[in-house]
Amino acid sequence: MSSLAKEYEPPVQIEDLEDVRSADTVEAPVKGVDAEVVEFFAQNHVSAPIDESTNRRLRWMVHKRVLVVMVVTYFAQTLDKGTLSFASIMGIIKDTKLVGQQYAWLTTCVYIAILISEFPTNILLQRLPVAKYLAFNIMAWGAVLACTAACQDFTGLVIVRTLLGIFECVCQPAFVFLSTMWYTRKEQALVIGSFYAMNGFQQCVGGLIAYGIAHTHSSTIKNWQLLFTLLGSITVVWGLFVMFWLPDSPMRAKCWSKEDRVLIAERVRGNETGIQNKQFKWHQAIEGFTDATVWAVTIISFTNGLPTGGLGAFSNLILNAFGFTQLQTYLLAIAQGAIVMTFLFSGAWLSTKYDQKLLFGFLYTLPNIAGTIVFLTVPTNPHTKVGLLLAFYCTQGFGAVAILNLAVMSGNVAGRTKQVVASSMVFIAWAVGNAVGPQVFRANDAPRYIKAFIVHIIIYVIQCAVIILLRLHLVRQNVLKRRAKEPAVTTRSGQDANEGIEHRHAFDDLTDKENPDFRYVY
């Protein structure tokens, strides 16, 4: 019988679980465990450990159904959201009569919408079938993006950009949730890195698309209008595909046999973070709001998001200011995307290989600092543009920090309601950072934006300090947990590779603090 049929209190008889036919006494599940999860494990069990070949087969099955959807959807989201950057040098600013900070506000309003919508969308992700809710939002933002082509002024652009933020905000929390549901903690950094790498890939593909469309001339539709219409229509079609392809959970994955569904669920037992729970638990919410770990990853999300927002919105304008032509700027975006992907995959791979997420998060902040210092000290002229371009590429290390921070969050926060709170806080902070980011690039400070890059330096220093403190905190929490279980544990790190943990509470929807079997990763 599964561990879900084990109770901390004296067991009581269950008489109404369908298909449970046993003369033995079946013990009641822990109070508050998701009923669908209870019934699924009560009717099915794994008789032997999952061997490596089976584990590899199951992982590839999940890749085809889940990872493919996450990667392509995130690519569509980043491409759709980044379209404004390409349109900025296609004439949208002139055609819609934008002045002063209005262009910056078109990026800021997206993240204000995300800020407002993030907590409600996380609640809906907890309560609704995740695949269907995700698919609806994909189709909705695709339709909104296509409507951008009809905008003729700042007001119209603000409306569609705000709606875009409302519908797009589902992506990152949904994907982090799917990562914890379908993948082991060891795999999560590479999984998150895979879809997050689409930030770089969209720069490559987006640059080529923009380069091609820039050569299209029509008297009836402008280049930037064609760009929005084309990408929006493709996104709607992809949303329809996701509706039918992505399973909502291992329990509902009818595309696989019942035996494989059980094995896929058992594969993530060691995460100790569960699969799903649709009940909102206030004690978990309070724990999330008061947990130092949650606040630390939230602060890192903000400090990483602020430079990202500014550089993302103004990257093409900055490169243009270095002295590169419009078409050169499009092509340089391809190289920029390749650099971003290199940072992302190397960070994810190294952190997985050496099991050191926060250490590499700190190290990948250093290139950002170095590149920003170059911006502050080197003047802009034809002789320095190559050096400035290399410095700009150094500042793309923020992507690696972002995925490592999300992996730290997904691996260290247990209890579905606590995950909802943590995810909401992290992505709200990310939205605030991205909303503020473009505003530090003042129009009267162009083309060097000295004040903006001074702000970036301060933010990076804060980020490094929080990363160090978080690592010390998680090490300490592991020491305390192991001492509570075995007082003889005296190692400073609390590490014990041979520690025997039975994972009896893996699907009991306990928080990381409540679960005695939980160990923090850093």
pLDDT digits (tens, 9 = 90+) for 270-328: 777 777 778 888 989 999 999 999 999 999 999 998 887 777 656 666 666 666 776 77
Residue 92's pLDDT is 83
Task: Give the number of other CB atoms < 10 A from CB of residue 39.
Answer: 17
Domain-embedded: residue 315: yes
Task: Indicate which CATH number applies to the domain containing 388.
Answer: 1.20.1250.20
- Residue that the structure tokens 């059980």 belong to: 262
Domain-embedded: residue 364: yes
Q: Which residue has the higher pLDDT, 352 or 299?
A: 299
CB within 8 Å of 78: residues ≥ 6 apart: 198, 199, 202
CB 456 within 8 A of CB 302: no
- Mean of the pLDDT values across residues 86-94? 79
Helices and strands (DSSP H and E) totals, the chain:
21, 0
Same-domain status, 291 and 202: no
Residue 457's pLDDT is 93
- Mean of the pLDDT values across residues 121-132? 92
Residue 222 pLDDT exceeds 90: no
CB within 8 Å of 149: residues ≥ 6 apart: 221, 224, 225, 226, 228, 229, 232
Domain-embedded: residue 493: no
Reported confidence tier of residue 31, pLDDT bands at 50, 70, 90: low
Same-domain status, 222 and 312: no
- Say how far apart CA 129 and CA 382 lie, in whole Å: 55
Domain-embedded: residue 119: yes
CB within 8 Å of 473: residues ≥ 6 apart: 292, 293, 296
- Say how far apart CA 303 and CA 401 lie, in whole Å: 10
Same-domain status, 326 and 233: no
Same-domain status, 242 and 374: no
Q: Environment class of residue 376 by beta-carbon count within 10 Å: exposed (0-12), middle (13-18) or buried (19+)?
A: middle
Residue 109's pLDDT is 86
Same-domain status, 231 and 307: no
Residue 139 pLDDT exceeds 90: yes
Compute the C-alpha angle 477/480/482, nearest 5°: 110
Same-domain status, 228 and 297: no
Domain-embedded: residue 363: yes
Same-domain status, 297 and 241: no
Domain-embedded: residue 98: yes
Same-domain status, 223 and 127: yes
- Mean of the pLDDT values across residues 486-493? 55
The per-residue DSSP string of 422-436 comes to HHHHHHHHHHHHHHH
- Say how far apart CA 432 and CA 512 lie, in whole Å: 27
- Say how far apart CA 269 and CA 254 lie, in whole Å: 21
Residue 263 pLDDT exceeds 70: yes
Reported confidence tier of residue 439, pLDDT bands at 50, 70, 90: confident
Q: What is the mean pLDDT of the chain?
A: 81
Give the number of domains in the chain: 2
> Would you say how long the chain is, in residues?
522
Residue 29 pLDDT exceeds 50: no
Residue 23 pLDDT exceeds 60: no
- Say how far apart CA 325 and CA 276 lie, in whole Å: 51
Domain-embedded: residue 243: yes
Residue 262's pLDDT is 85
Q: Which residue has the higher pLDDT, 146 or 449?
A: 146
Domain-embedded: residue 350: yes
The per-residue DSSP string of 96-146 comes to TT--TTHHHHHHHHHHHHHHHHHHHHHHHHHHS-HHHHHHHHHHHHHHHHH
Backbone CA torsion sign across 154, 223, 112, 368 = negative
Give the pair of three-digit tokens for residue 288: 């999330």
Same-domain status, 431 and 363: yes
Q: Which residue has the higher pLDDT, 89 or 121?
A: 121
CB 26 within 8 A of CB 14: yes
Task: Give the number of other CB atoms < 10 A from CB of residue 321.
Answer: 17
Same-domain status, 289 and 432: yes
- Say how far apart CA 469 and CA 463 lie, in whole Å: 10
Q: Which residue has the higher pLDDT, 243 or 24?
A: 243
Q: Which of 249, 271, 306 is the last residue of a domain?
A: 249
Same-domain status, 306 and 185: no
| Percent over 90 (pLDDT), the chain | 30
Same-domain status, 368 and 234: no
Q: pLDDT digits over 170-205, tens only?
A: 998 999 899 988 998 888 888 998 888 887 788 777
- Mean of the pLDDT values across residues 201-213? 76
Lowest mean pLDDT among 37-41, 44-48, 395-399, 514-518: 44-48
Give the pair of three-digit tokens for residue 167: 């519908």
Reported confidence tier of residue 46, pLDDT bands at 50, 70, 90: low
- Mean of the pLDDT values across residues 426-431? 88
Q: Which of 230, 249, 268 is the last residue of a domain?
A: 249
Domain region containing 154: 57-249
Compute the C-alpha angle 209/316/154, nearest 5°: 90
Compute the C-alpha angle 379/381/382, nearest 5°: 145
Residue (of 243, 234, 189, 246) closest to 63 by Cα position: 246
- Say how far apart CA 103 and CA 224 lie, in whole Å: 15
Residue 516's pLDDT is 81
Residue 13 pLDDT exceeds 80: no
